[in-house]
Homo-oligomer: A and B are copies of this chain.
Amino acid sequence: MAPAGAKKGILERLDAGEIVVGDGGFVFALEKRGYVKAGPWTPEAAAEHPEAVRQLHREFLRAGSNVMQTFTFYASDDKLENRGHTQRFTGQQINEAACDLAKEVANEGDALVAGGVSQTPSYLSCKSENDVKAIFKKQIDVFVKKDVDFLIAEYFEHVEEAEWAVQVLKTTGKPVAATLCIGPEGDLNGVSPGDCAVRLVKAGAQIVGINCHFDPETCVKTVKLMKEGVEKAGLKAHYMSQPLAYHTPDCNCQGFIDLPEFPFSLEPRILTRWDMQKYAREAYNAGIRYIGGCCGFEPYHVRALAEELAPERGFLPAGSEKHGNWGSGLEMHTKPWVRARARRDYWEKLKPASGRPFCPSMAMPDGPFLLRLLSHADTSN
């Protein structure tokens, strides 16, 4: 356990060229474990079932995560209420419990604690800049009180709202990261990824990137466009990506929410650990140094990121104690044809079957007519 204060901050790590491994998304992982309700997606489990949240933090830590994000997604009072179920706990209680859990586990290792805010219904209903900023302000009060290590403005579909969030977060004096949930076509107002990144950096974000909504391939591609924009503008930043653990080649610009399988039949799209190693390598090659995940990530997915980048970092995560490199754990299997799978070449080349011969490989996204038309234009029967 690292003594308090002994940890290097997020910017010190990135400035030093270190790779920072993020964690995975809590709402999807805890939904599968029975503690989050799909639909509302609220994080009351932090107060209701702390042992479940603590255990997931521990698993990500063990898998190699250097950041414990507080489980505070959608944890403002207005959201908790309008999601239609009476809460036994106030937003305040949930936020504080989440900070305590993240901090407790972070201190069992060398991880940092990050508090996060995300897009608000207020912005979508066209409230004023002041109103929206007031919501962010209220959310970060608890992060300041609990003294998290840095802040993340994440899951924004409109760069304007993300700028406002960054401006509020900057008032705390803590390092600020900002990630949008957009694809290569840009934000929902059509601002390109490059322009989005420039605006976020100008607003004060030291780390910019993408989270959620798209698969790793798409996210890395989009962060590359952000990086090009920032460099072209003569600015500097660190880059991060926290994609889905689902293959989404068939998404339109609104991401996986419009896929017919969202959220209850996404299983066939789940990435393997080998897909994750590929993602980690591609992200690294693209200059991304904060590499984590979002919805769909399980601890073994995070471990795969840490394992792929072990040569660069010089160490494996604790969880690799229970994982043979590229399937080497199969070496002692009784069947020779299973032993033959204990090698990198095998898993890297395998095109895994779905076992679902009555299902297609791609889906047509739902959504308003224009979006359907657009996505239709780029695909084939």
The chain A residues found within 8 Å of chain B, CB to CB, are 31-40, 51-52, 55, 58-59, 62-63, 83-84, 124, 215, 217, 221, 246-250, 257-275, 278, 298-300, 303, 319, 321-324, 327-335, 337-338, 340-342, 347, 350-364, 366-368, 377, 379-381
Contact = CB atoms under 8 A, between A and B. Distances in A.
Given A268-B352, A356-B361, 7 more contacts: A34-B323, A51-B58, A267-B267, A355-B381, A358-B360, A358-B363, A361-B361
Given A84-B332, A380-B217, A353 B347 contact: no
A380 B215 contact: yes
A363 B353 contact: yes
A275 B358 CA distance: 13
Contact of A360 (B263, B303, B335, B359): B359
Contact of A338 (B257, B273, B330, B360): B257
B247 A380 contact: yes
A379 B358 contact: yes
Contact of A330 (B39, B215, B271): B39
B364 A380 contact: no
A267 B366 CA distance: 24
Contacts of A303: 34
Nearest to A30: B322
A355 B359 contact: no
Given A249-B380, A267-B272, A332-B83, A359 B366 contact: no
Given A221-B377, A355-B380, A360-B351, A265 B270 contact: no
B354 A247 contact: yes
A194 to B, nearest CB: 17
Contacts of A329: 37-40
B357 A39 contact: no
A358 B249 CA distance: 11
Contact of A33 (B52, B266, B298, B337): B298
Given A37-B324, A55-B52, A261 B32 contact: no
A258 B335 CA distance: 9
